[in-house]
C-alpha cells in the first residue's frame, strides 16, 4: 500500500503505510474509481444521499439563526485555538470571530465552478490560493464550514497543516446542510455515526498504532472511492478524509492522506493496528456508502 498520491493517479489508495508493507499494490490495474459526490452508488430505499440544499445567502442566514444557538455544543473545545493549534500547526486564515477549536457548522460548501478562491481573511484582494475543482479523483471540491461572516464562509481546507482554514465568498460555492456526523473514539475503538441527535450506527474499528497514530481533530469526507477488489486491503470502499498523517509527511510522492475504509484483515478490528487510517469491517463500511454525503464531518478524539 502507498500513501494517497498527488494527481499522478486518479485513484491512489488511502492508507499510509510503511514502504516495506507486503500489501503494496503494484499493478496500475489495482485502481479504484470515484463514487459520486454524495455516495451515488447507494441502494434504493437507503437514507437520502444528499443533504438539504440552501439557495443563497438569505437562506444561509435564516438557517444559521437556528444553528448559532446550538453551535457551541456541536463539538466541545478539545484543544488549542484554531489559529495556534498544537504541534506548531497554523491556520490559513487570520481573521474572524473567535470560535472554539475544532468547531464547525453542519454545513458543506461545494465548488460551484472549476475553482474556488481561498483568502486569508474575509476581504477580497491580493493573491488568493486557487483551489481546483473537480479534485484529482474527478469529484467536486468540498469544504466543511466553520463559521459565516456576512457573505463570507470560513471553511476547513483539506491540506497540510491539518485543520487549515480559509475564507471563501458564498457566490463561489453551493451550500447544503448536512446533519450527519462520524465520531471515532481512539481509546475504545468505537465509531459512532449520527444523523442529528439520532445514532444510526455504532461499530468497532481499527485505528493507528502508537508509532503511526490516527490524528485527532475535526476532519471531513473529501471523496469516496470504490475499490477494484472488494476483498483487498481497503475492502470494497475507501473514504478520503481531510486529515493527513503526522508521521508520514511524504511517501512515494504523496501527502499521506488519512482514510476511512474497509479491510481484508477483520482480526485487526478492535485494535490499534493501522498506519493511521480508520478501518471498519467491510459490512460496516458498506452501510455508510449510501448514507454519508461528501463533506460530512469526521471527528477523531480520545
State pLDDT tens for residues 219-253: 999 999 999 999 999 999 999 999 999 999 875 45
Q: Within this chain, do residues 282 and 227 fall inside the same structural domain, yes or no?
A: yes
**Residue 46 Cα distances to 154, 243, 291, angstroms:** 32, 28, 7
| pTM of this structure | 0.77
The total domain count for the chain is: 2
User: What distance in Å separates the CA atoms of residue 215 and residue 257, rounded to the nearest whole number?
Assistant: 11
Q: Which residues does 283 contact at the CB level (< 8 Å), separation at least 6?
A: none
Q: Measure the CA angle with vertex 146, ends 141 and 149; round to 5°.
A: 105
For residue 81, what pLDDT is reported? 27
Q: Within this chain, do residues 122 and 166 fall inside the same structural domain, yes or no?
A: yes
Q: Within this chain, do residues 118 and 227 fall inside the same structural domain, yes or no?
A: no
Q: How confident is the model at residue 29 (pLDDT cuts 50, 70, 90)?
A: very low
Q: Within this chain, do residues 106 and 193 fall inside the same structural domain, yes or no?
A: no
Does residue 230 belong to any structural domain of this protein? yes
Residue 118 has which C-alpha cell?
481561498
Does residue 155 belong to any structural domain of this protein? yes
User: What distance in Å separates the CA atoms of residue 118 and residue 120, rounded to the nearest whole number?
Assistant: 7
Q: Measure the CA angle with vertex 143, ends 100 and 148; round to 5°.
A: 50
Residue 46 has which C-alpha cell?
437507503
Q: Which residues does 58 contact at the CB level (< 8 Å), separation at least 6?
A: none
Does residue 4 belong to any structural domain of this protein? no
Q: What is the DSSP letter of 44?
A: T
Does residue 100 belong to any structural domain of this protein? yes
Q: Within this chain, do residues 279 and 259 fall inside the same structural domain, yes or no?
A: yes
User: CATH code at 296?
Assistant: 2.40.440.10
What is the domain range of residue 66? 53-177
Amino acid at each position: 500500500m502507498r500513501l494517497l498520491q498527488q494527481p499522478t493517479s486518479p485513484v491512489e489508495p488511502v492508507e499510509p503505510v510503511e514502504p516495506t508493507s507486503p500489501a503494496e499494490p503494484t499493478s496500475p490495474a489495482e485502481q479504484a474509481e470515484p463514487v459520486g459526490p454524495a455516495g451515488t452508488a447507494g441502494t434504493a430505499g437507503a437514507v437520502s444521499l444528499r443533504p438539504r440544499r440552501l439557495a443563497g445567502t438569505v437562506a444561509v442566514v435564516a438557517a444559521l439563526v437556528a444553528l448559532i444557538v446550538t453551535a457551541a455544543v456541536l463539538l466541545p473545545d478539545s484543544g488549542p485555538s484554531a489559529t495556534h493549534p498544537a504541534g506548531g500547526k497554523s491556520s490559513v486564515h487570520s481573521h474572524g470571530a473567535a470560535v472554539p477549536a475544532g468547531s464547525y457548522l453542519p454545513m458543506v460548501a461545494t465548488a460551484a465552478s472549476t475553482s474556488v478562491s481561498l483568502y486569508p481573511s474575509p476581504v477580497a484582494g491580493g493573491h488568493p490560493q486557487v483551489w481546483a475543482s473537480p479534485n484529482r479523483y474527478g469529484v467536486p471540491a468540498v469544504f466543511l464550514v466553520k463559521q459565516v461572516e456576512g457573505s463570507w464562509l470560513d471553511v476547513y481546507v483539506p491540506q497540510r497543516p491539518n485543520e487549515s482554514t480559509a475564507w471563501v465568498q458564498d457566490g463561489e460555492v453551493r451550500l447544503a446542510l448536512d446533519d450527519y456526523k462520524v465520531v471515532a473514539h481512539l481509546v475504545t475503538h468505537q465509531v459512532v455515526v449520527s444523523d442529528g441527535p439520532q445514532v444510526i450506527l455504532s461499530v468497532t474499528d481499527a485505528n493507528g498504532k502508537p508509532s503511526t497514530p490516527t490524528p485527532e481533530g475535526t476532519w471531513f469526507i473529501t471523496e469516496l472511492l470504490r475499490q477494484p477488489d472488494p476483498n483487498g486491503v481497503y475492502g470494497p470502499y475507501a473514504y478520503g478524509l481531510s486529515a493527513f498523517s503526522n508521521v508520514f509527511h511524504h511517501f512515494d510522492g504523496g501527502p499521506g492522506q488519512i482514510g476511512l475504509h474497509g479491510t481484508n484483515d477483520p482480526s485487526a478490528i478492535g485494535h490499534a493496528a493501522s498506519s493511521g487510517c480508520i478501518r471498519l469491517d467491510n459490512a460496516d463500511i458498506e452501510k455508510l456508502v449510501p448514507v454519508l454525503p461528501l463533506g460530512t464531518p469526521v471527528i477523531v478524539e480520545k
